Structure 1
Amino acid sequence: MTSRRSLAVSLGAVALALAAAQASAADQPIVGLITKTETNPFFVKMKEGAAEAAKAKGAKLLTAAGKQDGDNAGQVTAIENMIAAGAKTILITPSDAKAIVPAIKKARDKGVMVIALDSPTDPQEAVDALFATDNYKAGVLIGQYAKAALAGKPAKIATLDLFPGHPVGAQRHNGFLKGFGLAANAATSNELSKPAEVVCMADSYGDQAKGQTAMENCLQKNPDINLVYAINEPAAAGAFKALKSAGKDKNVVIVAVDGGCQGVKDVAAGKIAATSQQYPLKMAAMGVEAGVAYAKTGKKVAGYTDTGVTLIAGKPVAGVDSKDTTTGLNLCWGKK
């Protein structure tokens, strides 16, 4: 009799534990993260930051990415899958700022909070909030540095851009020209400015191999290029490889944006002169925290939050505030 009672008590305890576990799982906030690609180090680190924040906050993280930068269809599918899986918040780095808007609207119509990370949508108000670097400012910083680094030499510039129509690509490109002191469109324009000093413009899609090919093509058009602006450090690394193969790496200033750990190492090695450092771990962590808060309180975040940018340079130049590569390595990707 006693053993039966004990068994009943034990079974009851197990049932209660299972019920509690199921209730806890049902109450667990679900946050989705959709990046442009799985391979770009920037987005790899963003995913790590989101995973760390989700674990700390007791949230379930769903992740997905496009096959390559510009894969809007892949991101649309990811949004649909995450809605079906119960995500109440979706964090996204839009590959196509305009084309993704209808899918985002469908999500928001169903009560899902959508936050853009790193890259804005077009219009920016298509999402609830944006957590990102001021990409125009990032461009201005490396433009100012490049101007000082050329020390009065006439500029013959190659720009290794993202791809046409992307807000981040335009903001960084135009900000760079503005910082250099050349005619440039405002931060709100998605059109790339092309003053006479820009002797070659090419799309790199933020990819090292494509950046190398783009630089090779630019050198064929104008072998006297002495300044390269690159959308990010993988593209800059490709440019350096092309310049080195052509025996021109010693006489060309390369500047970029991202400030990733490998990128800062390339600055320290002299492959890149300077880079504007962003903090994707911070963007992702803030997004997850906002998602958990929304699940618990129903309160959405709104508007733009600047997650910061710092100029990291191999050598300081007069009149331009920068940090050294030791600082850059301590801060790369936003790590503590």
Structure 2
Amino acid sequence: MSALRLSRIFASTAFATTAALGFAVFSSLATADRAEAAGEVIVGLVTKTEVNPYFVKLRQAAEAEAKKKGLKLIARFGKFDGDNEGQVAAIEDLISAGAKGILVTPNNSTGMLGIIKKARDAGILVIALDTATDPADAVDATYATDNFEAGVKQGTYAKKAMGDKKPVLAMLDGTPGGTVDTFRHNGYLQGFGIKEGDPVIAGSAITNGAQDKGQTGMENLLSKNGDINVVYTINEPAAAGGYAALKSFGKAKSVMLTSIDGSCQGVKDVKSGKVAATVMQFPYKMAVAGVDAVAEYAKTGKKPSGFINTGSELITDKPMPGLDSKDTAWGLKNCWGGE
């Protein structure tokens, strides 16, 4: 191939790349210009993933509240649980788009500190939903479940429900590096009355909160230790995967699963006996409170601050003495705090 032809190819490629980048920047700026011209206030929402039902509910609640408040919602998300780079890029885009406030569920509690600071330095209100940053004051405020408390509730229930049985515990964890995973895991251990490294723990698996990884992780743990009789799960998709694995091993009725989330499907799984208990959290409340805070900031300049606990409830049809809980009938009426 001639040097002249190569130079033309490179020139064409460079032009196409530059044009694509220019179009992306132009699109963001055009969005901001249109919003400003229309007098709209932009609120950004950046969730961990697009497909997890929990974050779908968070987005739906934010969309409904933004419409109610007359705000323009721009929703972005990571490609998978743990996609820190994707979330950073999403916030960059929202800064360029002229967002007044950004609501974010960080995939990595320390991995987004730089971009969050950039947004706040630009006068943007930044609120963490569901997952706290580390340090917590990296954002203006956090609206979330007290995940350590939720873990304690799950662990305390599991311990009481085991009765006199000798526990052989498997742990289906989430994504390392996130405060949600750490707090729930450690809270469960405290509620169960054990510490990290206790011989009661037969093993653990990283699931990233996904059903397929929950199933694979549970299968691997059962292959190594067939005596497992109690399972901690980071969330209900991981629990669903864990249950599928237990069923394939013929252990669905002899092993107790507990979880955290409180989705309508999760409550149905408690009702059917697949899961002994789940701890319900309220993403609807988080999203509504976050959008309302941005609306207030746009109107008055007032910012929220600190950690705001949106609460949790233990859901089970097999209550344990001394533990506050709600049954699945209540759970189905209140799953995730609103429909």
TM over 0.5: yes
Separation in 1, partners of 2:324, 2:285:
23
**Among 114, 127, 151, the residue aligned to 1:115:** 127
Q: Which residue of 1 aligns with 2:264?
A: 261
User: What residue identity is the alignment partner of 2:186?
Assistant: N
Q: Which residue of 2 aligns with 1:15?
A: none
Separation in 2, partners of 1:144, 1:162:
20
Q: Which residue of 2 aligns with 1:205?
A: 208
Q: Which residue of 1 aligns with 2:198?
A: 195
Q: SS of the residue aligned with 1:131? A: strand
For residue 194 of structure 1, report the CA deviation from its aligned partner: 3.1
Q: SS of the residue aligned with 2:216? A: helix
Give the direction of change, closer, same or farther, for the CA distance of 1:228–1:23 in structure 2 (3 Å limit). Answer: closer
Q: SS of the residue aligned with 1:182? A: coil
For residue 196 of structure 1, report the CA deviation from its aligned partner: 1.6
- The answer to whether the aligner puts 1:128 opposite 2:131 as a matched pair is no
Q: How many residues were matched structurally?
A: 306
Q: Deviations over 1:44-63 (max 9, x none)?
A: 00000001100110110010
- The answer to whether the aligner puts 1:301 opposite 2:304 as a matched pair is yes
User: What residue identity is the alignment partner of 2:217?
Assistant: A
Q: Deviations over 1:296-333 (max 9, x none)?
A: 11111110100000000131122221100011111111
**Among 100, 107, 111, the residue aligned to 1:88:** 100
User: What residue identity is the alignment partner of 1:52?
Assistant: A
User: Does the 8 Å contact 2:82/2:107 carry over to 1?
Assistant: yes
Q: SS of the residue aligned with 2:109? A: coil
User: What residue identity is the alignment partner of 1:307?
Assistant: T
Structure 1 unmatched ranges of 5 or more? 1-21, 184-192
For residue 124 of structure 1, report the CA deviation from its aligned partner: 1.0
Q: Deviations over 1:63-105 (max 9, x none)?
A: 0000000001110111011111110100000001111110101
Q: Which residue of 2 aligns with 1:140?
A: 152
User: Does the 8 Å contact 2:54/2:283 carry over to 1?
Assistant: yes
User: What residue identity is the alignment partner of 1:212?
Assistant: Q
Q: Which residue of 1 aligns with 2:218?
A: 215
For residue 25 of structure 1, report the CA deviation from its aligned partner: 5.1
- The answer to whether the aligner puts 1:175 opposite 2:184 as a matched pair is no
- The answer to whether the aligner puts 1:225 opposite 2:237 as a matched pair is no
Name the Cα RMSD after superposition.
Answer: 1.2
Separation in 1, partners of 2:280, 2:330:
11
**Among 97, 104, 107, the residue aligned to 2:116:** 104
Separation in 2, partners of 1:23, 1:127:
25
User: What residue identity is the alignment partner of 2:172?
Assistant: L
Q: Which residue of 2 aligns with 1:32?
A: 44
Q: SS of the residue aligned with 2:66? A: helix
User: What residue identity is the alignment partner of 1:158?
Assistant: A
Q: Which residue of 1 aligns with 2:246?
A: 243
User: What residue identity is the alignment partner of 2:124?
Assistant: V
Q: SS of the residue aligned with 1:224? A: coil
For residue 164 of structure 1, report the CA deviation from its aligned partner: 1.9
User: Does the 8 Å contact 2:142/2:306 carry over to 1?
Assistant: yes
Q: Which residue of 1 aligns with 2:24?
A: none
User: What residue identity is the alignment partner of 1:292?
Assistant: A
Q: Which residue of 1 aligns with 2:9?
A: none
Q: Deviations over 1:205-264 (max 9, x none)?
A: 000000000000100111100000000000000000000000011111100101111111
User: What residue identity is the alignment partner of 2:317?
Assistant: G
TM score, norm. by length of structure 1: 0.89
For residue 26 of structure 1, report the CA deviation from its aligned partner: 4.0
Q: SS of the residue aligned with 1:211? A: helix
